[in-house]
Structure 1
Amino acid sequence: MNILYDHQAFTVQDVGGVSRYYRALLDHAAPDIHSHVPVVLSNNVYLKDRQHSRHSSFFPNLSFRGRFSLMLSLNRSASRRALRQGKFDVFHPTLTDDPYFLPEIQDKPLVITIHDMIPVLFGEQYPLTDLPLMSRIAQRANQIIAVSEHTRADILRLLPVSPDRVTVVPHGYTPAIAGPATLPEGYLLYVGTRQGYKNFDCLLQALAQLVRQPGQRSLRLVCAGGGWATEAEQDRLQVLGLTANVQFAGLVSEAELASLYRGAAAFVFPSCYEGFGFPILEAFAQHCPVVLSNASCFPETAQDAALYFDPQQPADLAQQLLLLLREPHLRRQLTQLGSLRLRDFTWGQTAALTHEVYRAAQEQPQPVLI
């Protein structure tokens, strides 16, 4: 079976979860699966070894006007040519932001992956979201991959597709090698962006309560991967009396992030909504106890390997964190359960289930656009 991926994730991202997902599918393809990635210019780190593409890097350390536009134009043209040649059995676009492929794919099977429905559910944060376009692409897809049952339920609720065309295929995970420790152990760790539905302020309020507890005054929170503190965040920290307790690490490498997980007393994920919760697996892999919001997909992903709290109740989060900080045996129990749960998420399994979706797409009747 010949699978055609496209350029989008590898053009837009130099590094990121979506392009890493497609690289994993490429790496774990079965012997009868042959993949093609038509990319001309890319600075994506997951294609850097050129095992799956014949592309050139394009001024990876420079940013200048017109750089991205040129990459986008050349890569889109390459993907269009591959579509028109028709030498594939299934087309799997790496993103669905650009509908360029709809006029080109003709009657070939289309598979799309939807990682979450955040742009629709939180439209105020994503004002450019085009729901009619998303609906049109979803209608045209022979098969849709959802990364969790929670995401599948949202897809069926929000998009005009039938249940028989939406299949759950969870992510896999390959542990990163941790670099040398750069911080004293015992901090709380937050990973990712901090706006809106991420519910970061709930964590700050909980921390403000925690540092008033005996022996916790010097407790620190380290924030990685979401950029440096904004002026509004600095003001908020001052109001809460947490200026000395919160550290922003900015962008970090995979090895640095793995080291941060390994040295943390707990990883905290207060978000009100996620499609899968990939950082949970990152924490499991580094034997880091996990404390999660009880919302969204989190109980599905972590099951019994985490502590949970009400995302609308900072006091509940503070109570769970205090319990974890004071009970070494509970931390050990959670890390053991996390290691066991991690075994359920392998890229080999993800790829095998994805190949079943490809075969189903070939057998699925051609969708009719409304």
Structure 2
Amino acid sequence: MRLYVDARLPWGSGIGRYVASILPHMIAARPEWTFILGVQQGNSHPDLRRIAEAANVSVREIPIAPFSLEEQRHLHAAAGPHDLAWFTNYWVPFFWRSPFVVTVHDLLHQRPDLFPAPAAKRIASRMMLANLRRRARSVIFVSGFTRREFIRTAGAPRDCRVIHHGSDHFPAALPPFSKTKSALIVGAPKLHKNMALAIEAWAAAAPEDPWRLTVVSPGDELRSSVPLGQAQGSVVFRSGLSNEELARLYREAAVVLFPTKYEGFGFPVIEAALNGAYILSSTAEALQEVARDMEVTFLDPDDKSAWVRAIRETLQKPLPACDTPEIARNIAAAQDYRWADAAQQTVEDLELNMGNRTK
């Protein structure tokens, strides 16, 4: 089978991290397939270079920007000959002519309270969801929450399944690990991430020295970014960190705060669990799903006083250790998310929908 994989979004975070994490396992699981990777022209990400070394991989640089008018007209021709297409995000050209499967990560574009966007873009997004419902051979959702959101917004697709992400893209803290009096928030400075509330709650909790909160965000300028304030007192802002530096901060952090109001999946909860931190999380549905087997303090993302109390109570606990019962359970639960499992389920879904040409 010749599988076209549309992977034109930036690699390294978000959907790009999903693609880079799952693809090596898929490629190894189906050596008889040809994987045609459609990537943005000029992509030199090291993960792409490693994946391109596989004998059954062909990289096709495509000079067509995602979400552009040009992709509606010309992407299918640029993809070249293939038997099935897999779109790794839900923006599929309306007039795409070959069978396709699509992964839907979230429906944030349909939340005007959390994602400011022009009305035209929101309408186009809703039209796209309807297009997927009618035409996709299968829709892969990264959480049960995202599937429910899709059905509520666009109706039930022709076929679908939930395939959770893995966790082994991110290093786990090896026992015995040593924690410091530090806390961590990781996320883009977007409205729905709700980071300002947690930062304000931390300040209001007035942690004693030497406690510090580090706020980590991507280094690139993102659309719809919101101000988070400036470093002061026990709050430090960092951006554009390497994966190694971010992993070090997770290893050291005794507490991780995740106040987001909306997530399709929620990597920071898993990353925090892998690294043995106490976790304070919002009650966003996807996070409760992902952390269903973990001990997490869930808090209303709009209740600042609850976050202040939870921070104060958590900082009174002994620093977490590998033999702390809740920490051991969280590490084990996070390790149950495996990219190899996600890849196997994905190739099975692609295989099924390639074979069923009547769908």
Could you tell me the TM-score, scaled by structure 2's length? 0.80
Q: Is the 8 A contact 1:84 1:104 kept in 2?
A: no
- Structure 1: which amino acid aligns with 2:76? R
Equivalence map 1:90-239=2 (5 Å): 90-97=84-91, 99=93, 102-106=94-98, 108=99, 110-122=100-112, 124-127=115-118, 128-129=121-122, 130=124, 131-162=126-157, 165-177=159-171, 185-211=180-206, 216=208, 218-226=210-218, 232-234=227-229
Q: What residue in structure 1 maps to residue 35 of structure 2?
A: 35
**In 1, Cα distance between equivalents of 2:358 and 2:271:** 39
Q: Is the 8 A contact 2:133 2:154 kept in 1?
A: yes
Q: What residue in structure 2 maps to residue 292 of structure 1?
A: 281
**In 1, Cα distance between equivalents of 2:214 and 2:262:** 21
Paired positions, count: 334
Cα shift at 1:288: 2.3
**In 1, Cα distance between equivalents of 2:2 and 2:65:** 29
Q: Is the 8 A contact 1:178 1:257 kept in 2?
A: no
- Structure 2: which amino acid aligns with 1:337? R
Q: Is the 8 A contact 2:183 2:212 kept in 1?
A: yes
- Structure 2: which amino acid aligns with 1:15? G
Q: Is the 8 A contact 1:112 1:143 kept in 2?
A: yes
Q: What secondary structure does 2:270 align onto?
A: helix
Which deviates more, 259-268 or 41-50?
41-50
**In 1, Cα distance between equivalents of 2:316 and 2:194:** 25
Cα shift at 1:312: 1.7
Cα shift at 1:300: 0.9
Which deviates more, 333-342 or 247-256?
333-342
Q: 1:247 aligns with which of 230, 233, 236?
A: 236
**In 2, Cα distance between equivalents of 1:76 and 1:158:** 23
Cα shift at 1:76: 9.7
- Structure 2: which amino acid aligns with 1:281? I
Q: What secondary structure does 1:48 align onto?
A: helix
Q: What secondary structure does 1:267 align onto?
A: strand
**Quick check: 1:342 aligned with 2:342?**
no
Q: Is the 8 A contact 1:7 1:38 kept in 2?
A: yes
Q: Is the 8 A contact 1:171 1:347 kept in 2?
A: yes
**In 2, Cα distance between equivalents of 1:249 and 1:25:** 28
Q: What residue in structure 1 maps to residue 270 of structure 2?
A: 281
Q: What secondary structure does 1:28 align onto?
A: helix
1:233/1:22 CA distance change after superposition, 3 Å? closer
Q: What residue in structure 2 maps to residue 62 of structure 1?
A: none
**Quick check: 1:351 aligned with 2:348?**
no
Q: What secondary structure does 1:37 align onto?
A: strand
Q: C-alpha root-mean-square deviation of aligned residues, in Å? A: 3.4
Cα shift at 1:144: 0.4
Q: What secondary structure does 2:254 align onto?
A: strand
Cα shift at 1:94: 2.7
Q: What secondary structure does 2:276 align onto?
A: coil
**In 1, Cα distance between equivalents of 2:340 and 2:107:** 25
Cα shift at 1:68: 8.5
Q: Is the 8 A contact 1:293 1:310 kept in 2?
A: yes
1:121/1:45 CA distance change after superposition, 3 Å? farther
Q: What residue in structure 2 maps to residue 317 of structure 1?
A: 307
Cα shift at 1:311: 1.4
Cα shift at 1:156: 0.7
- Structure 2: which amino acid aligns with 1:270? P
**In 2, Cα distance between equivalents of 1:326 and 1:21:** 36
Q: What secondary structure does 2:285 align onto?
A: coil
**In 2, Cα distance between equivalents of 1:344 and 1:16:** 21
Q: Greater share of strand residues, 1 or 2?
A: 2
Q: Is the 8 A contact 1:277 1:297 kept in 2?
A: yes
**In 1, Cα distance between equivalents of 2:282 and 2:233:** 25
Report percent identity of matched pairs: 23
**Quick check: 1:21 aligned with 2:18?**
yes
Cα shift at 1:262: 0.8
Cα shift at 1:152: 0.8
**In 1, Cα distance between equivalents of 2:159 and 2:266:** 23
1:265/1:116 CA distance change after superposition, 3 Å? same
Deviations 1:23-66 (A, max 9, x none): 3332112135442214454233420233244468x9xxxxxxxx
- Structure 1: which amino acid aligns with 2:144? E
Q: Is the 8 A contact 1:206 1:317 kept in 2?
A: yes
Cα shift at 1:279: 1.5
Deviations 1:303-338 (A, max 9, x none): 233221121212212222222221227763332122
- Structure 1: which amino acid aligns with 2:109? P
Q: Is the 8 A contact 1:147 1:276 kept in 2?
A: yes
